[in-house]
Structure 1
Amino acid sequence: MSIRALWIISLDKSDHVSLRFSKRFSTVEHRAKLLAGSGYVPVPDEDVVLQHLLTELGLSDPDKPFVSARDNCSHCPRSPALELRLHGSAHDTLWPVLAILQRPLILACLPLVDVPIKPRPPLASLLSVSKGLTFLAGLQTFLLSSGGKPDPEGLASRLAMLPSVLLQICPLGTPLDVPALGPPASPTGPTGAGNQKIPAWKTGLHRGRAVVNVALTEVVRSMQYGNPSRQDLWDVYGTVTCKCEVEGVLPNVTVTLTLPANGSPLQDILVHPCVTSLDTSILTATSVENDSSAFSGPYKFPFSPPLEQFRLCSYTSQVPVPPILGSYQLKTEDGHLHISATLKLHESVKNSFEYCEAHLPFFNRDQMSTVDVKVSHGQLDVSKEKNLLVWIIGQKFSKSREVSLEGKISFGGPVPGPTDPLCSGLTAYIKLYFKVPDLTLSGCSVDQHSVQVYSTAKAKVFTSRELQSKEYFIWNCTGSAPVSSGQMML
């Protein structure tokens, strides 16, 4: 595994970015050119890469929520392997650009893919992706230390040392001490330090109380149209993150994911390179093939954890319905915009939120002048400067599991409101933001007692799970809306 280019970018609290370090490996780039042939795409200048990378991460223009190259329905992001379309063309694309974002840094690299990329191979089959992420994680530990928040002087000192460090750990663009291909045997008991070599990515050993935290987060996206001629779309993907503070050079932990008896098998599973052994059938289920006979668990992941918090695995899941079904209707009458909206909580979802809000923005109009809108549940906040209604539903729906909003708005303010090229005329949407603790739509869970820790000290284990929304849209059924002919995919 080799790396064509490396970038390190600083990101402060106000989202100001600057390139702190970049490195290209000309020998690896020469190999990339030979392997790709006529399909070779050279690495552009740093400012071009920075512009496209920040756009893909949603950091280039936070006031512009929709960017066609990133957010249109034909674009299928597979984080953390990003696709940078340099001139808006699929034929002029850098892939896979790997990125890790942990303030105050963004670390990114472009690994060499030594297999044909057309048709694009699945990420799970590319060793360069998992090893590239391991390389970035090691640099992250070096630059930010195990605490994750070095002082500015410490970070500047480590960045100054980086050229000489790369000569030692990544000569000619090929990282050393990266896990080799082929899993070792699964451990059966405690592992002592003995003469084991400390991996290059571990800057030290943990001393103190042994604690293991496992957090399972599922994210649901949805595009609902309220129109029989348009197919509603939704998808669910999950991540399992771990923070393991256990003693030993190579301590061993096993995390097991389980599904309910009627649960759909997990798909598109990607695992961290620290996983030491894995049943190959776990990796075969993909959302493209939609094979109902796929492995349905339990999913066991034995690993030797790094010091910092890391993503153990990610997956997608097929669920029959989205958690919240909505309808939204706008019409113009007597100089007013009449609004009607209904949100219904599906019976399979418990009525207990950490928060739930619905945002109704109105673009390409004058500022709101009068607002006469009522809600059946929760409260409504009005921002006339932003032409925005924030419907705060709160921590529960009503007992009927259905809430509604009705009213009318006039636009005649002294200055124009915000603009958006997509939302003209009656093209408008409601965007939902919600988080549900102790719930996953797939039913996937991690039992605290199923987490096994092989270490010199008994570890305290904590597990949690939650459901979050992302890009959850309900479009006005009387206006036009962006439509995809296929299923939403990661």
Structure 2
Amino acid sequence: MVTEKYCFRGIKHYRLQMNILIVYMMTRRYPTVERRAKTSTAYHPLPSDPEWLDAILMECGETYHGDEMQFVEERDTCDKSVRKPVYELFNGKQWPLVVLEKYGLLFCCLPLLESSSSNKRPSLVELPGVSVGFDLLEQLAEFLGPQAAVLGTTSVKLRDLYNYLNIAAPFGSPIDSNPHTIKSVLQTKLPPWTLKQKQPAWKPFLYKGSPKLHFLIKEQIWAVQYDNKTTPDVWEIAGTIMCKAELEGLPDVSVIITVPDEGSPLDHIVVHPCVQSGDTEEPPLLAQSLSESLAAAAASNSAALKSRKLKFSPPLESFVLCQYMASSVPHLPIRGFYQMKGERVVKLLIQLKLSDKVKNQFEYCEVHIPFFNRGPIINADVSPTSAIVTPSTDKKAMIWNIGNKFPSKSLEMSMNATVYFGDQPPDQISSAVDAFCVGLNAYIEIRFKMADFTISGCNIDQRSVTAYPNVKPKLTTVREFCSTTFRIWNSHGDALMALPFSQATT
């Protein structure tokens, strides 16, 4: 979806010791959009830059007059509806103003609001320009990067900012705001136009060199174990396939994503817009349509769950080819058991067993044992079957470094410990770290990463990878499996859990 912009704003601000806000502002206005706006009955002329500056800073709670903590009735009243990141200025005459604060800057844009037959203000979800404008500001912030906070008014980066807007939105309508693409345009002298086929705007110059294709399959697991007969353990597997294509010309790439017979089917697949088709001969118009066609194919033919064929025209930069869920993985990679009792002197037992379905080789595997709302650890008697246990630097947790492997024969590890705590400081008593994790309500968290493995079995069929026109790229596929949130609650305490809707309402 394309939307025009009245103007773009970027405001630099930083504080001095005297609580003064130093500000400078760059502005980009589009006369073509201004002429369109004048045809609307709701048109209000744009104010001058200084007026804009004062109004934006005041509305966002920033000011360079030293009174930023002052209560302002029209801004701070509880009767005012707040819909960040969208603001209104000058008594609603300038709306919807989209504001993004990032890297010490305020990025603002005012989308063109087409006239409506109704006097009622439309909801934000009915205004695609708001979403497109926010995305443009995000991409623009990424173009400047974290160093934006130290840019000066004469910085070359600010000159590139104007060039960025000329390419991303030449007449006020965002075309391609991808910072990787635009940086390539700014840094590369384009060769004379000799291509017979039309070159897309998202690929402004072509790669020259030996053909290469890189795939990264990264699976992550969220899991919670309760050791409770009435509360089943829950887990979720999500995967991302990244692609980097270094291919000459404007090739089409086909690839088959496979899962072995004993693996877990992939579902809820979402693909990149460059994907033209998948498991179907009809190329969809939108990525969402392709995802729906993949789901329909899976529903009509269970064999389709074990393989996915995608055809795509890759951009130059690394991109997310697709994301998926593996909701029917039948087993956890690590089963655990955690028992903890006591207050000032705590006795705990941890037992872990690695599934024989997963690879017994880790890049790292650690068990973090946090102790919330207690004093610092003053001593600990620890007896692990193997590996090393050390207290954290803040004396609020213990870390069991399992290392790279479980014992090959048993695939089991355990640890007994007695931990002694000192007095809890009064300021920590009044401001609890985690209000729920008090007493026996506690958990341990396992953090691990495996290379060359996915628990679903997802992989790239290397024999299926083809590129048209016919080239034989050097293919590299990397797989990894890691934990994000992998917790085991103390079986002697209570645990946070989500009840099914039928139970929660009874």
TM class, shorter-chain normalised?
A: 0.5 to 0.7
Aligned residue identity for 1:240:
I
Cα distance, 1:415–1:231 mapped onto 2, change above 3 Å: same
Q: 1:158 aligns with which of 156, 160, 184?
A: 160
Aligned residue identity for 2:422:
G
| 2:399 paired residue number | 390
Contact 1:142 1:203 in 2 (8 A): no
Contact 1:217 1:240 in 2 (8 A): yes
The alignment of Structure 1 onto Structure 2 pairs a total of residues equal to 393
1:409, distance to aligned residue in structure 2 (A): 0.9
Cα distance, 1:456–1:350 mapped onto 2, change above 3 Å: closer
Aligned residue identity for 1:168:
P
Residue 408 (1) aligns with residue 418 (2): yes
| 1:201 paired residue number | 202
The whole-number CA distance in structure 2 between the counterparts of 1:315 and 1:336 is 45
| 1:448 paired residue number | 462
> TM-score, normalised on structure 2?
0.63
Cα distance, 1:137–1:385 mapped onto 2, change above 3 Å: closer
Larger CA Rg, structure 1 vs 2: 2
Contact 2:253 2:314 in 1 (8 A): yes
The whole-number CA distance in structure 1 between the counterparts of 2:9 and 2:486 is 32
| 2:362 paired residue number | 353
The 5 A counterparts of 1:238-317 are 238-248=239-249, 250-278=250-278, 279=280, 283-284=291-292, 294=302, 295-317=304-326
| 2:74 paired residue number | none
Cα distance, 1:320–1:154 mapped onto 2, change above 3 Å: farther
1:392, distance to aligned residue in structure 2 (A): 0.7
* Structure 1: runs of 5 or more not aligned: 11-19, 32-44, 51-86, 96-101, 113-117, 121-126, 179-191
User: Superposition RMSD on alpha carbons, in Å?
Assistant: 5.2
The 5 A counterparts of 1:110-129 are none
The whole-number CA distance in structure 1 between the counterparts of 2:139 and 2:132 is 11
1:410, distance to aligned residue in structure 2 (A): 1.2
The whole-number CA distance in structure 1 between the counterparts of 2:111 and 2:324 is 22
The whole-number CA distance in structure 1 between the counterparts of 2:237 and 2:484 is 10
Contact 2:168 2:176 in 1 (8 A): no
Contact 2:466 2:472 in 1 (8 A): no
Superimposed CA distance per residue, residues 311-339 of structure 1 (whole angstroms, 9 cap, x where no aligned partner): 00000012112211111111117x41111
| 2:232 paired residue number | 231
The 5 A counterparts of 1:25-104 are none
The whole-number CA distance in structure 2 between the counterparts of 1:301 and 1:325 is 35
| 1:217 paired residue number | 218
1:377, distance to aligned residue in structure 2 (A): 2.0
Aligned residue identity for 2:170:
Q
| 2:333 paired residue number | 323
The whole-number CA distance in structure 2 between the counterparts of 1:405 and 1:110 is 59
| 1:370 paired residue number | 379
| 2:453 paired residue number | 439
| 1:420 paired residue number | 434
Contact 2:140 2:177 in 1 (8 A): no
Superimposed CA distance per residue, residues 219-256 of structure 1 (whole angstroms, 9 cap, x where no aligned partner): 111011111122211000101001111111x2222221
1:450, distance to aligned residue in structure 2 (A): 2.3
Q: 1:473 aligns with which of 487, 496, 504?
A: 487
The whole-number CA distance in structure 2 between the counterparts of 1:234 and 1:108 is 40
The whole-number CA distance in structure 2 between the counterparts of 1:315 and 1:458 is 28
Cα distance, 1:372–1:3 mapped onto 2, change above 3 Å: farther
The whole-number CA distance in structure 1 between the counterparts of 2:356 and 2:440 is 31
1:109, distance to aligned residue in structure 2 (A): 11
| 1:184 paired residue number | none
Aligned residue identity for 1:368:
I
| 1:55 paired residue number | none
Contact 1:370 1:410 in 2 (8 A): yes
Aligned residue identity for 2:291:
L
SS class of match (1:296): helix
Cα distance, 1:208–1:104 mapped onto 2, change above 3 Å: farther
Cα distance, 1:167–1:473 mapped onto 2, change above 3 Å: same
The whole-number CA distance in structure 2 between the counterparts of 1:396 and 1:47 is 58
Contact 2:218 2:480 in 1 (8 A): yes
Aligned residue identity for 1:395:
N
SS class of match (1:201): coil
Cα distance, 1:256–1:457 mapped onto 2, change above 3 Å: closer
Contact 2:441 2:493 in 1 (8 A): yes
Superimposed CA distance per residue, residues 147-175 of structure 1 (whole angstroms, 9 cap, x where no aligned partner): xx9x975544333444444541652xx53
Contact 1:448 1:462 in 2 (8 A): no
SS class of match (2:276): coil
